[in-house]
Each structure stands twice: as structure tokens, then as C-alpha cells.
Structure 1
Amino acid sequence: MLDQKKKKKKKKRLQLPLRLNILFIFVFGLFSLLVIQLGVVQIINGEEAQQKINQTENTPSEKPVPRGKIYDRNLDVVLDNEAVKSITYTPPKNGDSAANRLKLAEKLAEFVMIIKDEEELKDEINERDKKEYWYLKNTKDALDKLTEEDRKELTTGEQYQTVLDRITEQELTTISWNVELLNVLAIKKELDQAFELSPHVIVNEGITDEEYAQVSEHLLELSGIDAVIDWERKKMFGTTFNSYIGGISDSEEGIPRENSDYYLANGYTWNDRVGKSGLEKQYENILRGRKEKIQFTTDTKGNVIGSEVVVEGQRGKDLILTLDMQLQQAVDEIVEEELKKAMNSVNNNGYLQDALVAMMDPQTGDVLALSAVRYDREDKTYSDNSYRVIYDAHEPGSTVKGATVLTGYETGAIDIGTRFSDKAIQIANDPPKKSYRFLGYSLSEVDALEMSSNVYMFRTALKISGATYIEGENLRNFNNDAFGIMRKHFSEFGLGVETGIDLPFEATGVRGGDPVAGNLLDLAIGQYDTYTTLQLAQYVSTIANDGYRVKPHLVKEIREPGNEENKLGPVLKQNTPEVLNRVSMDDRYIDRVQLGFERVFTGGTARSNWSGFEYDVAGKTGTAEKPKFDESGNQIAKTENLSLIGYSPVENPEVAFAIIVPENGTGDQYAVHHEIGKRIISKYYELKKNRIED
């Protein structure tokens, strides 16, 4: 019995080591596999694994792309791009120290001189730049200039400024400020201006092919530096239409600071170049393109170990203008030539200096030409001031009489065939208000337009106001609301309101602020409120277009960028005619004003100037008195704003125009507005004929 118990215990002791051995063998196997795996990682994939451990991804670097091109209606290139070599710097995510930027500048200076002219380079570097350099090179000595009291009481920025103030002229003389060192400082100044994560152009003018190649070859040694191709705008027609093409900011300006939130939210960086005026600004989102984004992978030492294009770049979309650049150039020349003739006329009194022209298709709103020339009396030169067509407003005189007649129809003040005497209006205690001469005792509204009767318009305005007029007495029941009524109806034709042209800004003119009866009469003949030349062009276009006011526009199409050089891409959007409003009146009323406008040129105030002209034209002439006063309010001269509006041909019009020549001499003056009008219409048909023949 005892032996059996001993045998059982011995058997258990034998089984226990066996289980332990099996467990040991299993654990040993697991460790062996782990050691093998570690060996594989360390020996075979060790370098790759270490790189993965050390690597860090930078924010993608962005490369600029060309902006979209601009073409005229005949597909001639108006605005192109020109490649420019550039060196840029993108600060790291958490910024960099001044000391590191100095080291980077010293390294970059080995390959590029950013200011080639030595004198210009010397002017660029001021005393503060030199003191900051001395500070970085002598940091310990610089900080010793601070007292304990300074360290306790001054902020970090104040301490820095105090140190700079205490650096002496003698200490600065210990450094040799040669050209090479000045170049380093000039580079550092550019590096200091860069915004975090935003590429900043260090130099893009005057960089040589050799310098560009040198920098490109050493990019791995120049953290944050890149050698890229930037793009400058190239205007193919010189200064022609420059005001409306507009411009873009340079890299130093970057995005507008006042609207930075908008731009940053839309993917821009601080140093991005954006449209700041004209079409460049209006169509910024179309022209900007999509920048190429490259993801660089670097190790902990900043060495680039890989890169990947994460967003393909695409140049901006193209604009096709409504403008005919041949016509635009010709109109510019015509305006300048005729202005010179007027300036030399015997009756020019020394105030004339501008002539402004707008041409558009009355049915589509296509702008065909916008031109203004200004004479600089000091320099005795003529310059393109075409922006004045939409920015400057003037009293246009009798050209608004068509709007006055139509307002009379709309308000019930007159009807077709209503007749008034042209006898002067005489209100008590006021000088008589009359036409340029007595035109008859019974004028219809068509007669009044043909012969440009002021009195007919005065009587129409008085009817609109509800006033009772008795010669020599004060007006009775005059309603000041008549100003608002007339302006409301004038606005239906585009007078006194925005035309809607696709530009960042346009003026709407100035409204007179004294609502007395005499001023209402002046409003009716265009000698109170002011309007721009483009407003007048839209107004006459509305009459030519049977009462439909069409929005003028400069861009006809938006196209995808072409795949080949100078090859247009497919149409993305086409700007079709946009009717802003239809003048609410019977077609018979528009017909009557059109008849009056036609008779102006065949037998009325424009007949003597346009007699024998080979193309039929309808429209209206205008003259607004513009007296000149000195600082004391004394009248020193008499001048007149000359204006002319029209359209051609009379049936189914295809071109409308407005011309203003402000402050011309009075009397038997040179008819500059008529000469401009005849020549621009002739040029329009000449170019049209040439294109048909081609």
C-alpha cells in the first residue's frame, strides 16, 4: 500500500517537468520568431524603418500657375502671360528664428545677388538692418547692454529695441559692409517679410539663368527656398484699354489686407497675387487658376526624402471680350486727334481738356469701345483716361430730352401730338427761361426734339409737377415730389443709376439737392443732375432697342484653358443679353421719340454737321452751360459741355454711342463732338466691311 503511494507521487513528479518543458519549448519558439522578425526589420528593412520613424510631412508647397488669358471679340490676344524666373521662401509651420534666417541668407547669397546695382543695394540697407546683423553676430555682448532693471521692467520687444538703440557707431565700424554682406542683409530682409506657410518671392527681376540653375541645384541645402517659374502679365496692345483690363498685386502687396478673411477662406495665401482693379479684379475667381501643390517629405534634419504632387496645377480660364481692339485703338486715335483740333481752335478758352466716348450694341449690351483722352496742361501731353467713361459724370444738356418726353407720356403730362408754344417761361422774380431761340407758337413733342426746344421740356416738367403756371406770377401747387417722379422714370433708361457693367465700380452721377421749381426745369433739359458717358450710351440704347434696357458687359464668353499654345478651350459660359427692365409704355410713344431722334439728324440741330453722311444715324445733340468760378465765387469764364448720343442704322440698330466733351469754349466753337461721332461711326462700318470681305 505504501509502495503504491510512492509510485503515484513519482509519476506526478515526472509529469510536471514534461509540461514545463513543453511550455518552455513553446515560449522559446515565440521568442525565436520575435528575434527573427526583429532581425529582418533591423538588418533587411532597418534603413527604411528608421526613415519612417524620423520622417515628418511638411505642409504642401504651392507653385504658381499662369492666369487666364484675355481675348477680344475677334479672338486676338489682349492679355497674355510671360514666364519669369523666381526664387521664393516658405517659412516653416512654426516659424523660424532670426539667427536661422541669417544662416539661410548667407547660404543663398553664395548663389544669387538679388540687387545687381551696387548703389541701389547700398540704399536698400539702412542703419537698423546693420544693427540687427551686429546683434545676431554678437548676441552675448548685445544682451549685456541690458541692465537688471531693463530685464524686469521692459517687454521682450522693448528690450530688443533698447539693445539696438545702444549699439554704437563704433561697434558697427568693426564690420566690413562690403557688397557681399549687403547682399546677405538684403536677402534676410526678404526672408523676414515672409508669412508662415506662404511662399514669398525673394527675387523675380534680373535673376540670371546661371543664378537660377545654381539655386535649383542646391535646394536640399536651402530649407524653405524654391526656384519656381512665376508669371507676369503681358499686355499685347500696350496701354490700349489698360484702365479696364486692370492690374494685379505684386508679391509684396499680396492679398488686400482689408479683405484678407475672404481671400484666406477661399484658399489664398498672404503673398498670392490677385486682381486689384478692372477685369482682373472683377473676374479674379475665373482668371486665378489652380496652383500646383506638392507634398514634400523630410527627415528630422530637414532633408527632403520624397515628394508627391497632391493637386495638379491648372492655369486660369480665359475671357473673350465683347470689345473690338481694332475699333478701340481707332477710337482712341480719333478722340485724341479731334481733341487736339479743338484745343487749337480760336474759341477754346483754356478749360477744355477731355473728350469721352462709349460705344455699345444696343440689342445685346456688348461694349464695343470705351475711350477718353485727357490733355495735361502742365506736361502738354495727351493720355489715355478711358476709365473716366464710367467714373466721371457731367451735365449732358439736351441729350436727355428724349427721357423727358417719355416721362411726360408715362405720367400723363403730355400725349402724342400735345403742342406747346416755345414762348419763354417767366416766373415771378426769376429771369426768363427760354430756348436758344424762339422756335414757334405750336410745337409737337417730335418738333421739340428735332429743334431742341427747352420751353417744351419746361412745360412738360411743370405739368408733371402739377403746378399752375401763369406768366409773371409765382407757381401755384408746385409738387416737390416731381423730382423723384422724373428721376424714377429717367432711371428706367439708365440715367442716374448703375448700368450694371461687369466692372468692380462705376459712378452713378450726382443729384442736385435743391428742390425748387427752377431746378426741376433745368433737370428736364439736362442741366442739373450729372450722368456718366456710359449711362448716356445705355439710355440711347434703350430708346434704340424699343424700350428694353440691356445690361452692358465687357466679357462675352468664359472658356476653359486651351491644351495647346494659343488654342482656345471649350466655352464654359456665354454671357447672353440681360434685359434689366422694359420701359412700361405703349410702343407708339417710343416710336415718336425715335422719329424725333431721326429728324434731329435729317432736319434738326445735327443736320448741318451730318449732312451728306453716308450712313443713317438717329440721336440727340446737347449743350449744357458750365460757367467757371474763382475761389470767391465770381464767374471768370463761360464754357459748355458738348454732348451727342446716337445709334445706327435707324432700323434694327447695331451700334449706339455717347460722346461728352466737357468745358469746351462757347460760341462758334469747333464741333468736336460731331466730328468724333462721324469718324467713329465710319470706322465701325469700315471694320465691319473688312471682316466680311476677309
Structure 2
Amino acid sequence: MEQQKKKKSHFPFRLNVLFFSVFLLFSILILRLGFVQIVYGENFKRDLERKEAITISNPVPRGKMFDRHYRVIVNNTPRKAITFTNQGYSQTELLETAEKLAGLIEKTTEKVTDRDQRDFWVLKNPKRAEEKITKQEHALYTAKKLSDIDLYRLKLERITEAELKEISDRDMEVLAIYKEFNNGYKFSPQIVKNEHVTDHEIAVVSENLQSLPGVDTTTDWERTYPFDLTLKSLLGKVTNSEEGLPAEQLEYYLSKGYNRNDRVGKSQLEFQYEEILRGYKSKIRNVTDKSGNVIESHPITDGKNGKDLVLTIDMDLQKAIDRIIEDELWAVKKLPGTVLTDRAYVVLMDPFTGEILAMSGKKMIKNPDTGRTEMIDDALGTFTTTYNVGSTVKGATILTGYKTGAISPGTTFDDSGIKIKDTPIKKSYAYLGRLNEISALKKSSNVYMFHTAIRMGKGHYEYDKPLNFNNPMAFETIRNSFASFGLGTRTGIDLPNEQTGFKGTSKLPGYLLDLVIGQYDTYSAMQLAQYISTIANGGNRMQPHVVKEIRNAPSDTDEVGPVFQEMNPKVLNTIDMKKEWMNRVQIGFKKVMQEPGGTAYKFFGNARYSPAGKTGTAEAFYDGPFRKNYGKEPPPVMNLSLVGYAPSTHPEVAMAVLVPWAYQGEKNDNRANLKIGRRVMDTYFRLKKQ
């Protein structure tokens, strides 16, 4: 009995201990909850209500381009578009939205790759994809001998063609849309479809925006060209939304506030004036919760279209010159010795302002599909390719001779050929008698220029004896002087990728003689235009430019907006020479075209606009596209050039014509430079009257 009483007395005690322990634990829990609520409650509340402000920029139309008469050259055509902005959605949410959108629009699948299909199959069949990994591979993964990337690659490789065929046509549309969703960047609008978007598609998508998170309808813009292919290579290109920002300039554009998928100018005028043409995007501030869901939207700034460019180009003149070059090139190709002839260039420039009135280049290429020869635009070649130009540089040679004291007005030389020991005789195309510098320009005497160069090099010439110079700086002196006219240096044109030309490296005396007749260094058509303009205006080297004005975007009622900036004429340097010297060269150039015996008289002698200028023929080595297909080392070819201006007394237009590889063989001179030049000048003055 006594033992039973003892056992009974222990039971209430243990129960009390249990109750007390529970009470103590609850007390600790309540105290802890109270502590958390009182001390950290505000912090947790702030985390719960945390918001993030994200600014989204929406693109605006780029600025237009006009010719000098305010005719639209580059325009924007509005296009209906469907966009998607990823606001932090999961892959599952992206796929669900893509499936809904695929039921509302038609989306082409031509851009869907085999890799896209395999990724999609894994996304749609995760269990089946997982079964493609063996136990051994899982073990290697656990042992960290295989990575997640390795396992995923194995899954993709083991998908069979039969399994890929499970992807239906509808699935392919979903995949195409899903791919566009993933191409975009977070909070950056991405084009899903902007080609052939129907009014019905816009309507049904707009009606279902509530169930399509991130999807929107908007107006996109496409560059259009009212003058078709005319000057298109000069106008440049714009990247599309898939290309986005060029990789090599990514950091630069991002620092300027661009989105990664923004379209930017990638060549020529579109690239050179990107900051002007781009405009200012409209900006909206989206406020998101911590899950990335947008809970508020506030407009910050309205968008503003890009500024417009008014070019110096006259498109009527440009088109006419394009046709002239095409006509003459096709005609030349019918003549003997023109197997390698495939291009020609013309630049027209206002000699007093530097405005480029027309810059035309045409090049023949063989279409790989049809095998036929076609003519394409190569206006860029007027400043990105250089050639030996021949006697057109002789005006600069005479003026350099004056400046260095090698010759003076009226200096004469006999035109007998120059014979240096162990070298072929160097002569003019015919014996021209005794000449002063004016008649040497008129008749294009090589020998006169040789004697001038010998004096500049402080050399002493004797027939069939070695020729040495006592002036080691002769090459630099002549090249620096030529550069002051624009030859062999950048002209400063407001376009990228201008080339300066090739400078011969040998300093042997014979090459100095070649230099002063344009058969050693190479020059571009744009350099020739700047050079002849410098002579035409009396000694100012004007910077050539193709943009005349920058104008603000117009209001709804105006075709052209107000002027934002005018491009004023810029003198790069002034030739430090006596006016008398320049006048004598101008007289020589006038005689070239207007006096019997002048090398261009037969083509320009009856022109009513009083032209002046200089012809050029240079023997050069062919390095064009047919070199590899020629079968043997190509023979020397002849480059033809022509510079001129008119009227000769008060010039208003300067011209450069360059026809590389115009013919092969001494007897095949087709005068393509003169034929093109005469038609171009006639066209300029005819259009001026109209």
C-alpha cells in the first residue's frame, strides 16, 4: 500500500513539470514573436512593401534627309507593330503568354533554328529530357566531373528527329514568338512582329492586353528611299532590332542612354550623324514590387523626333550624272582593250563653299546568281578609293615650282626627252617644242615638269648620265605642297572612312619625276575636286561637305522644320602664293579647254560656259577584282582623269572625273574621261537654266 501511494504521488509532480515546460516554451515563443514584431517589424514591413522604379524608353522616328531643294531623300514609313517588354517574367510565364499570343496573330517561323527547337522540346518535356541522362552521368555530375551545361548539352544531342517532329506547326509559331520574347532585355521593348501586321491582329491583341502581360501594340518606323537606289551607299544603313547596338561600340552607346536592341546608324551619313538623327525617346517610369510586377506607371518626358538633315546634293543632277556614267561605261566596254574597265567616278563641288553638288560612282559586278554583269552604286568610291591620276596634278607642280623658286613666270624648257643612265627615256606623248609653263599646261608636257622637279631637287641633268639630288627633302617639299591643295591628304569631308592614298616609298630621283606628273602617289576623286576648287577660287582649300543644314523636326503642318544649324563654308588653308602665279595656272587651264592644241579642246572648245581644266592619263598596275581570274600577270593599264571648272572667270562649279583602268594598250585610248566630263558639265548648266 505504501509503495502504491508513492507511485501515485509522483504522477502529479511529473504532470506539473510537463505543464510548466509547455508554459515556459510558449512564453519564450510569445516573447520572441513580440520582440520580432516590435524590434524588426518596421524592417519586415518595408521589405514587404519594397518598390523599384524602372525607366523605360520608347523609340521615336529618326530624322529625315532632304536634298538641297528640300525634296525628301530618306523618309520614315510608319508600320503597325506588336512589342513585348520583359518585366521580370519567369520562363513559364513567357511560354504561357507566347501560347496566348500565337492564337491571336500569325508569326513566321523562318528564323527558328534547329537549336531553338531542341531547347523548346526540353522546355515542354522536362521529364523525358531528364530520362536521357544515365545513372553514370548523374554520378559524374554528383562528383563534379560534369557540369549543368554538360548535362544540358547531352539532353539536346539525344533528342531524336522523331521527337522533334512532335513540335507542331502551332508549336513552331509559339516558339517563334517565345524566341522574340527571350531576345529582348529586361524593361526594354522588343519587336515581336512589325511586318505584315493586319488591322485585325492589332485589334484582337489590343482587346486581350490584360491577359498578355508585357505585350503591347505600337507604331514602328521603317526607312524608305523615294529616290530608290540613287546615292543609297552614301546615305548609309540603320541596324535592325535584331542587330541592335554594334558590339564594337556597345559600351559607348550604352553610356549615351541607348538600349541594347536600339537601332542605330551603322554606315555613312546614318552613322556620321547618329546623334542628330536619333531624336529623344519618350520615357515612362514603371514602379514594380519586389516580385517585378508593375504596379504604377508615370510618364516622364514625351518623345521628340530626330532632327533632319538637308544635304548639299541636287538629286536631279545626281541622277543625271549616274545615268551619264552608266551610259559611258557600257559604251566603253564595247571598245577594244577594256576587259578590266569596270568603274568611274565624278564629283561636282561649289569651289567657294565646299558644298558637294553631286558625287557619283558606278561599278560593274558579276551577279553570282545570273552570271550577268550589273551596274551598282559606288558613290563611296569617290573618297574611299585612290588611284594614279596622271597629268591633272600638273597645276600643283607648276605652283610648287613657283613657290620653291625652281621656276618663275615665263621660264622655258625644251620638250626633248629626259634620259637618265640605265633607265628608259622619259618624255611627253609627243615632242612639243620649247614651252613656258602656260603652254606646258595647255599641251600637257611631261618634260617641263621633269625639269621643274630636277630644279626642286637641286639636281644637275646631263643626257644619259646618273641623276642625283642635293635636296634630300624634295619628296617631302612636293608632297606637302600638294597636300595644301588637297592631294594626298584627307579632304575633311563629313563622312567616315576617307582614304588619303598610297605614297611611294622609294626616294630614287626617277620617282620624283613620276611624282610631279601624277604617276607615283595615288589620289581620290574627292581630292581632285578639292584640288581643282582651290585653283578655281584663287587659293583657298575649302572643306567639302554633304550636309548643308540641320533642321528641327517639323510640326504636323510643316514639311521642313526650322533651321537648327547651318554648315558654314570652312577654309582649311590658304595657298601662300602670289596672285600672278595662280592667274598663270588658271590661264593655262583655260587654254587646255578653249584653245586649239589644248588636250581637251576637241571636247570642250565649243562649250558656251567657258570651261577651264586639265586632263590626265596615268600608266598604272591593275589590282582590281579580276586579277586572280586573269590567268597571268595583268598588263599595265591606263587611268584617265579630268579636272575642270566653269565659268573660267567667275567659277561656280568644279568637277573631277576619274576612270580607273580605262583601257589597256597604247592605241586603245577611249577618252572616257572627256566624254563623261563634257556631258556632266553640259548637264549642270542645262539643269541650272531649268
Q: So what's the TM-score if we normalise by structure 1? A: 0.86
Query: Offset of 1:299 from its aligned partner?
Result: 6.3
Partner of 2:642: 644
Partner of 1:656: 654
Structure 2 CA distance for partners of 1:296 and 1:213, relative to 1, 3 Å: farther
Partner of 1:680: 680
Let me know the Cα RMSD of the aligned residues: 2.4
Query: Offset of 1:300 from its aligned partner?
Result: 7.1
Task: Trace 1:119-268 onto structure 2 (pairs within 5 A).
Answer: 121=109, 124-143=111-130, 145=133, 147-153=138-144, 154-169=146-161, 172=163, 176-268=166-258
Letter in 1 for 2:191: V
Structure 2 CA distance for partners of 1:477 and 1:520, relative to 1, 3 Å: closer
1:231 is paired with a residue whose SS is: strand
> Using the alignment, how far apart are the partners of 2:152 and 2:445 within structure 1?
77
> Using the alignment, how far apart are the partners of 2:50 and 2:104 within structure 1?
28
Letter in 2 for 1:661: V
1:531 is paired with a residue whose SS is: coil
Partner of 2:421: 428
Partner of 1:65: 60
Partner of 1:78: 73
Is 1:613–2:604 an aligned residue pair? no
Task: Trace 1:2-13 onto structure 2 (pairs within 5 A).
Answer: none
Is 1:289–2:279 an aligned residue pair? yes
Superposed CA deviations along residues 609-638 of structure 1, whole A, max 9, x for unmatched, are 212112110010011123559779976545
Superposed CA deviations along residues 232-271 of structure 1, whole A, max 9, x for unmatched, are 1111100011011111000011111111111000010100
Query: Offset of 1:58 from its aligned partner?
Result: 5.1
Query: Offset of 1:670 from its aligned partner?
Result: 3.1
Partner of 2:451: 459
Is 1:399–2:427 an aligned residue pair? no
Partner of 2:330: 340
Letter in 2 for 1:137: K
> Using the alignment, how far apart are the partners of 1:444 and 1:481 within structure 2?
26
Letter in 2 for 1:428: K
Partner of 1:40: none
> Using the alignment, how far apart are the partners of 2:632 and 2:473 within structure 1?
32
> Using the alignment, how far apart are the partners of 1:334 and 1:412 within structure 2?
43
> Using the alignment, how far apart are the partners of 1:477 and 1:196 within structure 2?
70
Partner of 2:476: 484
> Using the alignment, how far apart are the partners of 1:518 and 1:634 within structure 2?
28
The percent of aligned pairs where both chains have the same amino acid is 44
Superposed CA deviations along residues 439-496 of structure 1, whole A, max 9, x for unmatched, are 11x3111111111000011111111111121211111345442111111110000001
2:379 is paired with a residue whose SS is: coil
Letter in 1 for 2:279: G
> Using the alignment, how far apart are the partners of 2:461 and 2:90 within structure 1?
83
> Using the alignment, how far apart are the partners of 1:349 and 1:165 within structure 2?
56
Superposed CA deviations along residues 542-570 of structure 1, whole A, max 9, x for unmatched, are 00011100000001111111102552221
Letter in 1 for 2:649: E
Q: Is the 8 A contact 1:478 1:517 kept in 2?
A: no
Structure 2 CA distance for partners of 1:628 and 1:231, relative to 1, 3 Å: closer
Q: Is the 8 A contact 1:428 1:472 kept in 2?
A: yes
Q: Is the 8 A contact 2:332 2:338 kept in 1?
A: no
> Using the alignment, how far apart are the partners of 1:126 and 1:639 within structure 2?
49
Letter in 2 for 1:101: L
Q: Is the 8 A contact 1:628 1:635 kept in 2?
A: no
Query: Offset of 1:379 from its aligned partner?
Result: 1.7
> Using the alignment, how far apart are the partners of 2:324 and 2:114 within structure 1?
54
Return the match for 2:364 from 360, 375, 378.
375
Partner of 1:32: none
> Using the alignment, how far apart are the partners of 1:268 and 1:303 within structure 2?
24
Superposed CA deviations along residues 505-554 of structure 1, whole A, max 9, x for unmatched, are 21111111222111111111001111010100000000001110000000
The alignment covers a number of residue pairs equal to 629
> Using the alignment, how far apart are the partners of 1:633 and 1:137 within structure 2?
58
Letter in 2 for 1:688: K
Query: Offset of 1:165 from its aligned partner?
Result: 3.0
Partner of 2:487: 495
> Using the alignment, how far apart are the partners of 1:383 and 1:126 within structure 2?
33
Structure 2 CA distance for partners of 1:162 and 1:453, relative to 1, 3 Å: same
Superposed CA deviations along residues 349-403 of structure 1, whole A, max 9, x for unmatched, are 3221111100000000000001112223552222222211111111110000001
Partner of 1:361: 350
Superposed CA deviations along residues 566-608 of structure 1, whole A, max 9, x for unmatched, are 5222111100100000011111111111111111112211111
1:534 is paired with a residue whose SS is: helix
> Using the alignment, how far apart are the partners of 1:206 and 1:200 within structure 2?
17
Q: Is the 8 A contact 1:295 1:307 kept in 2?
A: yes
Partner of 2:378: 385
Is 1:535–2:527 an aligned residue pair? yes
Return the match for 2:313 from 316, 323, 330.
323
> Using the alignment, how far apart are the partners of 2:396 and 2:565 within structure 1?
35
Letter in 1 for 2:384: Y
Is 1:577–2:566 an aligned residue pair? no
> Using the alignment, how far apart are the partners of 1:230 and 1:451 within structure 2?
61
